[in-house]
Amino acid sequence: MSRKRVLITGAAGFLGSHLCDRFIAEGCHVIGMDNLITGDMANIEHLMPLENFEFYHHDVSKFVHVSGELDYILHFASPASPIDYLKIPIQTLKVGSLGIHNLLGLAKEKNARVLIASTSEVYGDPHVHPQPESYWGNVNPVGPRGVYDEAKRFQEAMTMAYHTYHGLETRIVRIFNTYGPRMRLNDGRVLPAFIGQALRGEDLTVFGDGSQTRSFCYVDDLVEGIYRLLLSDCAEPVNVGNPDEITIGEFAEEIIKLTGTTQKVIYQDLPTDDPKQRRPDIAKAKEILGWEPKVSREEGLKITYEYFRSLPEEKLFKREH
Ligand code: NAD
Ligand code: UDP
């Protein structure tokens, strides 16, 4: 049987690079595409010498051409951390709109199955808790986070339209806060922020009073859920995340304990429209995919901390914002 050919956009990013590893391990031919706007070639340098890996340096918001056949397209290109998408708001809107249009067009031409990375942010600051896929969300379209949330909502609508009107095979994964090795230390997300602060001997910055909640999923669990969803026949959106919910204040205490830092917590203003609570309802993933997370936060945090500790000093002290 010939090798499956897979296009992964956002390949040099955190999640994209782990997906490349998984599909290579499954014996596929992987084409990674990235414009490196928030990614890092270091995440995929180990794949570059492989004959079943190719890398295209390309902005997917511009016309996308790939030679040869494609079985699967996984669209993960997009700025993903609040600091990133607030810094590059127009590119964020473009990759979620023009980018997905280009990729769906490519999928139609190649008769490929498409899986898109959507997000828990489609639920906005949710009034329903935990969030099931049937909840339509509470998003402020013109607030600062609107550039990301609305791009992702549009991306879902466009994907569903290609499924309904063109019969394209599509999958939509709604990803909840995921962490692990290869996150960018300075991307502003809470886990790299806290661990970076602990490693640099700085105080940990909790935004607001720290009572807002998140539910953190280890990257290997997420990748397994995505892989199963791709191979399933479910075109409806599916939540993939870890329902183990924690307040950000408690999370800061866990990082202090993990790293052994003697620094303290300091409080800063809560960003506009920061969701107050977030926890996935994963009943659908359990039923349809037979999936649930396996890695505890304690275990996942240890692995991630070791990764950040092993980074060269220049990465630890690199300031981006
Ligand atoms: P990341 O910033 O590490 O990776 C995104 C990658 O996309 C980067 O390598 C970046 O250079 C690339 N990219 C951005 N715009 C591009 C464009 N126009 N053309 C080509 N490449 C482009 O972020 P991540 O955490 O790996 O997120 C990956 C995807 O998963 C995103 O779509 C994000 O919205 C989604 N997601 C992530 C999380 C999470 O917790 N990590 C949660 C929900 C959704
Ligand atoms: N957060 C924080 N300190 C930081 C960075 C983030 O308290 O240095 C908070 C942020 O306000 C939010 C939570 O941590 O309530 C998760 O933020 P992140 O940017 O990781 O993800 P998202 O808000 O997209 O879930």
CB atoms within 10 A of CB 213: 18
**What separation in Å is there between the alpha carbon of 189 and the centre of ligand 2?**
6
* Minimum CA distance residue for ligand 2 atom 21: 189
Which residues on neighbouring strands pair with residue 179, listed in sequence order? 218
What token pair was written down for 230? 């791709």
Q: Is 271 in the pocket of ligand 2 (CB under 6 A)?
A: yes
Residue 212 structure tokens: 């807002």
Measured in residues, the chain has a length of: 321
76 vs 215: CA distance, rounded Å: 21
ipTM of the complex, rounded to two decimals: 0.98
Nearest ligand 1 atom to the CA of 175 is 43
Residue 321 confidence (pLDDT): 53
Q: Measured in whole angstroms, how far is the alpha carbon of residue 229 from the centre of its chain?
A: 15
Ligand 2 neighbour 86 (Cβ under 6 A)? no
Annotated catalytic sites, by residue? 148
CA-nearest residue for atom 10, ligand 2, is 207
Nearest CA to ligand 2 atom 4: 190
> Is the CB of residue 252 below 6 angstroms from any atom belonging to ligand 2?
no
CA-CA distances (angstroms) from residue 197 to 125, 245, 249, 303? 27, 23, 15, 17
Residue that the structure tokens 């303290």 belong to: 264
Bridge partner residues of 72 (DSSP): 6, 113
Which residue's CA is the nearest one to ligand 1's atom 13? 77
Query: What pLDDT shows up at residue 314?
Result: 81
| Averages of pLDDT over each 10 residues, the chain, 321 residues | 92 98 98 97 98 98 97 98 94 98 98 98 97 98 96 98 98 98 95 96 97 98 98 98 98 98 96 96 98 98 97 79 53
Q: What is the pLDDT of residue 313?
A: 83
**Ligand 1, closest atom to CA 94?**
18
Query: What was the pLDDT predicted at 147?
Result: 97
Edge to edge, what strands does the sheet with 5-9 contain? Answer: 53-57, 29-34, 5-9, 72-75, 113-119, 170-175, 237-240
The two most distant CA atoms of the chain are separated, in Å, by 58
